[in-house]
């Protein structure tokens, strides 16, 4: 388990983004477009790829609900769509990602708003599979033993089958 | 030789399927799941036992219907032996399931509708054997047991096929709580799972058939001695 340092984003960055959105909204007539502009300048909270290195296929983990304000890209960017949507002070959710070696990570993301500061914490946890065991080739020991067991039992089944068939044939002929 | 093969091709198929499925159960790639980890491979062993059980019980019911229609006692013997083999698969299923549950759900017996349903349906089959034992007259025993066997199979389907789907269950594909995350089995896994299901079903029929044939031999000998 790796614990990564807390990443702190200054509120001024967020407010700066808001200000840009605000000015664009003023210059246009339709309010709908203003929303679109605000969305087009998302704030990246965390770049998982940069933090964890070589992460792909990032998706929301099963059984977790992604907050309305947050968006996740498959490349590992966790994006704040709009600060207005952040209603609660603390958000927790999990994302699933995989490494090029097919190892799967569950990453717990915690976003906390403390006054004007927005703190994002990530904890990544690897799902333990017997990758090393397989790489060493020891799995073939298990394969060999279970195959021997199966083959011997089937041989016995065949012999038993023949014996019972002969027995029934004998009984048939006698009567 | 060819004659033997033409009657027993399905036994050869069963062995070939399992000779492929058993190594692949260990070697194939699997979905990576949070709690399950590598134990997801139990799918190829634990779940296939239930499929084999249902198939063998279905065979038992078919023989019971044939016994009722023809009045031939040999069909009744086959029905009984198939039910016995089905029980064996059911008990393997329960025991392997309990071991798996201990390490994933935290305890061997959680109050899961599928667990309770399978236990109740096995009890129904236990009652089938008790019922047989309580009637001495063979023809009457055949009639009563055959009718009960049809009822038992219907109850089995209701209890392990239908009931868990109506309520929440920890088992995948039931209620709103699928253990495999919406049954997201990888295609690689299906390529191993389906052959091993078919393989174990055929093995079940093979074993049940052997049980039946040996019992029929015993029956013939008893008939001979009672004639004299």
Predicted confidence (pLDDT) at residue A32 exceeds the cutoff of 70: no
Q: Is B24 a domain residue?
A: no
Report the chain B residue with the minimal C-alpha distance to residue A158.
B11
Q: Is B225 a domain residue?
A: no
Question: Distance, in angstroms, between B160 CA and closest chain A CA?
Answer: 25
CB contact under 8 A, A146 and B22: yes
Of A147, A161, A175, the CB nearest to B210: A161
Q: Is B22 a domain residue?
A: no
The interface predicted TM-score of the complex, written ipTM, equals 0.86
Lowest mean pLDDT among A5-19, A112-126, B191-205: A5-19
Of B26, B210, B221, the CB nearest to A160: B210
Predicted confidence (pLDDT) at residue B171 exceeds the cutoff of 60: yes
CB contact under 8 A, A127 and B37: yes
Q: Is B23 a domain residue?
A: no
Of A62, A130, A147, the CB nearest to B23: A147
pLDDT tens digits, one per residue of B122-165: 999 999 999 999 999 999 999 999 999 999 999 999 998 887 77
Report the chain B residue with the minimal C-alpha distance to residue A126.
B34
Q: Which of A2, A100, A82, A97 is nearest to A45 (CA)?
A: A82
Q: Which of A36-40, A60-64, A110-114, B72-76 has the highest mean pLDDT?
A: B72-76
Q: Is B15 a domain residue?
A: no
Tell me how many domains chain B contains. 1
- State which residues form the domain around B84: 39-215
Q: Is B18 a domain residue?
A: no
pLDDT of residue A77: 84
pLDDT of residue A42: 57
CB contact under 8 A, A154 and B37: no
**Higher-scoring residue by pLDDT: B171, B159:** B159
SS3 assignment for chain B = CHHHHHHHHHHHHHHHHHHHHHHHHHHCCCCCCCCCHHHHHHHHCHHHHHHHHHHHHHHHHHHHHHHHHHCCHHHHHHHHHHHHHHHHHHHHHHHHHHHHHHHHCCCCCCCCHHHHHHHHHHHHHHHHHHHHHHCCCHHHHHHHHHHHHHHHHHHHHHHHHHHHHHCCCCCCCCCCCCCCCCCCCCHHHHHHHHHHHHHHHHHHHHHHHHHHHHHHHHHHHHHHHHHC
Chain A CB contacts of B33 under 8 Å are 127
Chain B CB contacts of A171 under 8 Å are 217, 220-221, 224
Give the other-Cβ count within 10 Å of A33's Cβ: 13
Question: Distance, in angstroms, between B130 CA and closest chain A CA?
Answer: 27
Residue entry with tokens 């029956």: B219
Q: Is B60 a domain residue?
A: yes
Per the prediction, chain A carries an average pLDDT of: 74
Give the separation between CA A60 and CA A73, rounded to whole angstroms. Answer: 10
Query: Looking at the complex, does the CB of residue B218 fall below 8 Å from at least one CB of chain A?
Result: no
Is residue B173 very low, low, confident or very high in pLDDT (cuts 50, 70, 90)? Answer: low
Chain A CB contacts of B182 under 8 Å are 62
pLDDT of residue B112: 83
Burial string for B98-124 (b: 16+ CB within 10 Å, else e) reads eebbeebbeeeeeebbbbbbbeebbeb
pLDDT of residue A8: 38
Predicted confidence (pLDDT) at residue B79 exceeds the cutoff of 50: yes
Predicted confidence (pLDDT) at residue B177 exceeds the cutoff of 60: no
Question: Distance, in angstroms, between A108 CA and closest chain B CA?
Answer: 13
Chain B CB contacts of A128 under 8 Å are 37
Q: The tokens of A144 are what?
A: 């060999």
Query: Looking at the complex, does the CB of residue B37 fall below 8 Å from at least one CB of chain A?
Result: yes
Please check whether residue A11 is in contact with residue A124, taking contact to mean a CB–CB distance below 8 angstroms.
no
Chain A CB contacts of B22 under 8 Å are 143, 146-147, 150
Task: Report yes or no on whether pTM surpasses 0.90.
Answer: no
- Residue A113: in which H helix or E strand, if any? strand A104-114
Q: Is B30 a domain residue?
A: no
Best interface-test mutation with A: which of B4, B23, B176, B188 has the largest number of A CBs within 10 A?
B23
Report the chain A residue with the minimal C-alpha distance to residue B217.
A168
**Higher-scoring residue by pLDDT: A109, B142:** B142
């Amino acid at each position: 388990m790796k614990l990564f340092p807390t990443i702190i984003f200054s509120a001024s960055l967020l407010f700066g983004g808001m200000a840009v959105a605000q000015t664009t909204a003023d210059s246009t007539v339709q309010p709908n477009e203003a929303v679109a502009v605000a969305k087009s300048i998302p704030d990246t909270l965390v770049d998982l790829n940069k933090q964890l290195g070589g992460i792909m296929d990032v998706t929301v983990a099963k059984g977790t609900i992604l907050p309305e304000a947050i968006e996740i890209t498959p490349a590992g960017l966790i994006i704040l769509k709009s600060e207005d949507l952040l209603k609660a002070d603390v958000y927790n959710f999990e994302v699933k990602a995989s490494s090029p070696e097919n190892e799967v990570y569950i990453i717990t993301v915690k976003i906390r708003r403390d006054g004007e500061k927005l703190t994002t914490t990530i904890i990544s946890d690897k799902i333990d599979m017997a990758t090393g065991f397989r790489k060493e080739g020891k799995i073939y020991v298990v394969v060999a033993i279970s195959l021997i067991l199966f083959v011997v039992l089937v041989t016995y089944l065949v012999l038993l089958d023949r014996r019972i068939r002969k027995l029934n044939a004998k009984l048939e002929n006698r009567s | 030789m060819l004659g033997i093969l033409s009657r027993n091709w399905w036994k050869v198929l069963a062995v070939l399927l399992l000779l492929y499925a058993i190594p692949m159960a260990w070697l194939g790639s699997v979905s990576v799941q949070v709690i399950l980890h590598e134990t997801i491979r139990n799918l190829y062993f634990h779940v296939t036992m239930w499929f084999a059980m249902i198939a063998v019980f279905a065979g038992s019911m078919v023989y019971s219907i044939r016994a009722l229609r023809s009045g031939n006692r040999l069909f009744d013997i086959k029905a009984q032996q198939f039910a016995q083999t089905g029980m064996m698969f059911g008990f393997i299923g329960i025991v392997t399931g309990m071991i798996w549950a201990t390490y994933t759900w935290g305890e061997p017996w959680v109050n899961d509708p599928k667990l309770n349903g399978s236990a109740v349906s096995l009890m129904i089959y236990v009652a089938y054997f008790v019922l047989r034992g309580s009637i001495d007259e063979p023809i009457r025993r055949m009639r009563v047991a055959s009718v009960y066997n049809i009822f038992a199979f219907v109850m089995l389907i209701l209890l392990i096929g239908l009931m868990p789907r109506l309520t929440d269950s920890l088992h995948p594909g039931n209620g709103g709580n699928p253990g495999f995350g919406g049954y997201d089995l990888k295609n690689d896994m299906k390529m191993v799972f389906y052959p091993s299901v078919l393989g174990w079903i055929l093995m079940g029929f093979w074993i049940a058939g052997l049980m039946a044939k040996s019992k029929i031999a015993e029956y013939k000998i008893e008939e001979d001695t009672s004639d004299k």
